[in-house]
Amino acid sequence: MALKDSILASVAVMLLALTGRAWPALPETADGQQVPSLAPMLEQATPAVVNIATEGRIVVQNNPLLADPFFRRFFKIPDGPIERKTQALGSGVIVDARRGLVLTNSHVVANAVEITVTLRDGRHLQAEVVGTDPDTDVAVIKVPVENLTALPTANSDSIRVGDFVVAIGNPFGLGQTVTSGIISALGRSGLGIEGYEDFIQTDASINPGNSGGALVNLRGELVGINTAIFSQTGGNIGIGFAIPINMALQIMEQLVDTGAVERGTVGVTVQDLTPDLAAAFGMEKQLGAVVTSVAPDSPAATAGLQTGDIITEINKKPVRNGGDVRNHIGLLPLGEAVSFVVLREGKRKSLEAKVVAGTDGGAAGGPRAVNPKLNGVTVGNIDADHPLSGKILGVEVAGIEPGSQAWRSGLRQGDIITSVNHTKIGKLEDFLTAVDRKQGPLLFRVIRGNAAAFLVIK
Query: What pLDDT, on the 0 to 100 scale, is given for residue 105?
Result: 92
Residue 408 is assigned to a structural domain of this protein? yes
Q: What's the pLDDT at 59? A: 57
Give the amino acid at 376: G
Question: What average pLDDT does the structure give for the chain?
Answer: 80
pLDDT band at 62 (very low <50, low <70, confident <90, very high): low
Residue 314 or 388, more confident = 314
In terms of residue numbers, what domain contains 312? 264-357
Which of 325, 357, 389 is a domain's end point?
Answer: 357
* DSSP letter, residue 368: B
Report H helices in 167-298.
Answer: 245-258, 275-280
Farthest CA pair distance, the chain: 90
Single residue among 261, 295, 325 that ends a domain in this structure: 261
Q: Select from 327, 357, 387 the last residue of a domain.
A: 357
Name, in order, each residue with C-beta under 8 angstroms of 257's C-beta and a sequence gap of 6 or more: none
What confidence tier does 341 reach under pLDDT thresholds 50, 70, 90? Answer: very high
The verdict on 42 and 24 lying in the same domain is no
Question: What is the per-residue pLDDT for 82?
Answer: 59
Domain check: are 207 and 153 in the same one?
yes
Residue 268 CA from chain centroid, whole number? 18
How much is the pLDDT for 80? 56
Catalytic residue among 91, 189, 211, 419: 211
Give the tens place of pLDDT for each residue, 89-100: 889 999 999 999
Could you count the other beta carbons within 10 Å of the beta carbon of residue 32? 7
- Is there a domain that residue 364 lies in? no
Least confident of 1-5, 195-199, 266-270, 357-361: 1-5
Of 73-87, 136-150, 417-431, give the range with the top mean pLDDT: 136-150
Note whether residue 74 is domain-resident: no
Number of domains the chain contains: 4
User: Within this chain, do residues 10 and 44 fall inside the same structural domain, yes or no?
Assistant: no
- pLDDT digits 0-9 by tens, 24-53: 444 555 466 677 788 899 999 999 999 999
| Residue 363 within any structural domain of the chain | no
Mean pLDDT, residues 196-201:
85
Tell me the CATH number at 223: 2.40.10.120
Whether 350 and 450 share a structural domain: no
- Indicate the pairing of strand 138-142 with strand 124-133: antiparallel
Strands 317-318 and 347-354: unpaired
Regarding whether 145 and 43 lie in a shared domain, the answer is yes
Please check whether residue 242 is in contact with residue 202, taking contact to mean a CB–CB distance below 8 angstroms.
Answer: yes
Whether 52 and 147 map to the same domain: the answer is yes
Looking at the fold, whether 249 and 306 belong to one and the same domain comes out as no
Claim to verify: residue 452 and residue 318 sit in the same structural domain: no
Query: Could you tell me if residue 253 is inside a domain?
Result: yes
**Out of 137, 198, 309, 415, which one is annotated catalytic?**
137
Give the least confident one: 43-47, 148-152, 274-278. Answer: 274-278
Instruction: Based on the residue annotation, tell me whether 211 is a catalytic residue of this protein.
Output: yes
Of the residues 107, 133, 203, 205, only one is catalytic, namely: 107
pLDDT tens-digit series, residues 319-330: 888 888 888 888
Whether 91 is catalytic is no
Residue 406 is classified by DSSP as H
Distance, CA of 124 to CA of 102 (rounded, Å): 14
Query: Across 88-102, 279-293, 407-421, which has the greatest mean pLDDT?
Result: 88-102
In a domain? residue 75: no
Can you tell me the distance from the alpha carbon of 36 to that of 32, in angstroms, rounded to the nearest whole number? 13
Outline where 191-244 has alpha helix (H). none
Average pLDDT over residues 54-78: 61
Examine the domain organization and report whether 251 and 288 are in the same domain: no
Predicted confidence (pLDDT) at residue 355 exceeds the cutoff of 70 = yes
CATH number assigned to the domain comprising residue 351: 2.30.42.10
* Residue 365 is assigned to a structural domain of this protein: no
Q: Are 252 and 428 in contact (CB under 8 A)?
A: no
Give the 3-state DSSP-derived string for 300-346, with helices as H, strands as E and coil as C. HHHHCCCCCCEEEEECCEECCCHHHHHHHHHCCCCCCEEEEEEEECC
Angstrom distance (rounded) from CA 288 to CA 272:
7
Cβ atoms of 176 and 120 within 8 Å: the answer is: yes
Q: What per-residue confidence (pLDDT) applies to 234?
A: 60
User: What average pLDDT score do residues 156-170 get?
Assistant: 93
Is 208 in the same domain as 250?
yes
Q: Are residues 234 and 169 in the same domain?
A: yes
93 in the same domain as 175: yes
121 is catalytic: no
Domain presence at residue 183:
yes
pTM over 0.75: no
Structure confidence at residue 194 as a pLDDT band (50, 70, 90): low
